[in-house]
Amino acid sequence: MPKPKIEPRLPKGMRDYLPGTMLKREYVFSKVREVFHLYGFEPLQTPVLELHETLMGKYGEDAEKLIFNAQHPGGKEELSLRYDLTVPLARVVAQYPNDIALPFKRYQISPVWRAERPQKGRYREFYQCDADIVGASGMDADAEIVSVVISALLRLGFDNFTVKINNRKLLTAIGQYAGVEGEPLANLYRSIDKFDKVGAEGVREELITRGLDGEVIAKIMDLITVDLPGIQKLAYLEGFMGDFPAACEALGELRDLIAHLQASGMPEQYYDFDLTMVRGLSYYTGPIFETVVNEAGMGSVQGGGRYNDLIGLFKGESIPTTGMAFGIERIIDLMDTFNLYPPSLGGTLTQALVTVFSGETRFEAERLASELRGAEIRTELYLQDRKLGQQIAHADKKGIPVVALLGPDEIASGQVKFKRLRDGQEVTASRAQAAEVVWGLLNT
């Protein structure tokens, strides 16, 4: 073989997922998918590449610099790798009006690409896991989104998390109440958004630096940091801002949302209002959600909310939409942190390794492997002529729980010996009972 001249390495910010990792990732994906299906969300898949023009003008100037372009020699179309899953959804909704019945509930778990500088937990290729309801304007839809979040996290094994709920309209109303609008209001959001990281004092200092009046800051901080349980928080705000139509509308929506959540039976310990939660920028128009896993020492694992003006972009109209995205990469990290994978999820799917004693017994070993596979046992046949010890070591290293030993003695007597590596237990059985014995070793 020629010596490889090229150092094997990955593009910046991209990863390989080796089999042991893939088993874990697919476990998480499958649990989340189960919950989506339970709520009537159905899968959508769109191409990795979109026309460049489809993506332009949707994310803002700064974000557009992070879009990967994908040209080939002589290509006539300007193509780009998708930047998220929401714009493709908007395109699909506009493109297939006859095939899509509203409300349209779809989910998509797919990679997206951003040419950012990689960092801890941030990659240039990463999976997004979105579920959205297109064409439903009521708070029952938003409540359903929150329910999906809670159900999925519970199913994965998390039990100490909080879905933080706020309303974009309420933040706007607070700005009005304090006398801040336009560009300063956007900066105000950005500062408040850092609440988790820098605390109340940090936010206060940043607002001072941004040149806001001390009195204004005091009014805002008083409102957003009020520490009252659930609904009482809303009543407190109403006392100050009851005269502002935007505030009334926002508070009404949140009351409505909670009523639907209660009806759906979601335990109240898993959600709460957090008036300091802002959700990045721009396109949200109503309730917003963000979930933190407590004691995780990490940012949010889920974000979402209502965005009524984005999905209709390609149709030139407003289509009420609410949805959410799991920070699925972070969730996968936390699954390890909190040890939430089931023990049955070992490093391999393979359940049995059939060892091969010698060249003469290989045909018989193949027959045995075939019999085990016929009984739905995931079976690897050892494919090299090596010493028995090395074959067993191979099973041990991969985490295969059972090995079959088929030497001349066993073949002569029509039997096969199985060994369970976990505890070294050996069982000899007739070939007719072989599969049954393996299932016994696997399940006890």
Partner RNA sequence: GUGGCUAUAGCUCAGUCGGUUAGAGCGUCUGAUUGUGGAUCAGAAGGUCGAGGGUUCAAGUCCGUCUAGCCACCCCA
Residues in touch with RNA (CB under 7 A) = 12-13, 62-63, 84, 114, 116-124, 126, 128, 190, 194, 197, 280-281, 299-300, 303, 325, 327, 329-330, 357, 388-390, 392-393, 396-397, 405-410, 417, 419, 421-424, 426
Helix (H, G, I), strand (E, B) or coil at 112: strand
Q: What is the DSSP string of 124-143?
A: SEEEEEEEEEES--SHHHHH
**Dihedral sign of CA atoms 54, 58, 60, 66 in order:** negative
Question: Of 50 and 410, which CB lies nearer to RNA in the complex structure?
Answer: 410
The H or E element containing residue 391 is helix 388-398
- Tokens encoding 32: 């989340």
Give the Cα separation of 429 and 228 in Å (integer). 67
Peptide bond into 103 cis (omega under 30): yes
Question: Of 33 and 190, which CB lies nearer to RNA in the complex structure?
Answer: 190
Shortest separation between residue 97's beta carbon and RNA, angstroms: 27
Shortest separation between residue 329's beta carbon and RNA, angstroms: 5
Question: Of 4 and 75, which CB lies nearer to RNA in the complex structure?
Answer: 4
Question: Of 175 and 303, which CB lies nearer to RNA in the complex structure?
Answer: 303
Give the Cα separation of 230 and 312 in Å (integer). 33
Shortest separation between residue 59's beta carbon and RNA, angstroms: 9
Shortest separation between residue 99's beta carbon and RNA, angstroms: 28
Shortest separation between residue 141's beta carbon and RNA, angstroms: 20
- Tokens encoding 420: 């369970």
Shortest separation between residue 370's beta carbon and RNA, angstroms: 19
Q: What is the DSSP string of 293-345?
A: ETTS-S--SEEEEE-TTTGGGGTTS---EEEEEE-HHHHHHHHHHTT-S-TT-
Shortest separation between residue 328's beta carbon and RNA, angstroms: 8
- Tokens encoding 223: 């409102």
Shortest separation between residue 240's beta carbon and RNA, angstroms: 28
Residue listed under structure tokens 């395109």: 91
Shortest separation between residue 388's beta carbon and RNA, angstroms: 4
Question: Of 224 and 395, which CB lies nearer to RNA in the complex structure?
Answer: 395
Check: CB of residue 66 under 8 Å from CB of residue 116: yes
Nearest CA to 92 out of 135, 59, 44, 49 is that of 44
**CA-derived radius of gyration, the chain:** 28
Question: Of 135 and 202, which CB lies nearer to RNA in the complex structure?
Answer: 202
Shortest separation between residue 327's beta carbon and RNA, angstroms: 3
Question: Of 57 and 408, which CB lies nearer to RNA in the complex structure?
Answer: 408
Question: Of 110 and 300, which CB lies nearer to RNA in the complex structure?
Answer: 300
Question: 254: number of CA atoms within 13 Å, CB side?
Answer: 30
- Tokens encoding 82: 């998708």
Question: Of 273 and 283, which CB lies nearer to RNA in the complex structure?
Answer: 283
Question: Of 209 and 339, which CB lies nearer to RNA in the complex structure?
Answer: 209
Q: What is the DSSP string of 158-200?
A: --SEEEEEEEHHHHHHHHHHHT--SHHHHHHHHHHTTHHHHHH
- Tokens encoding 170: 């309420």
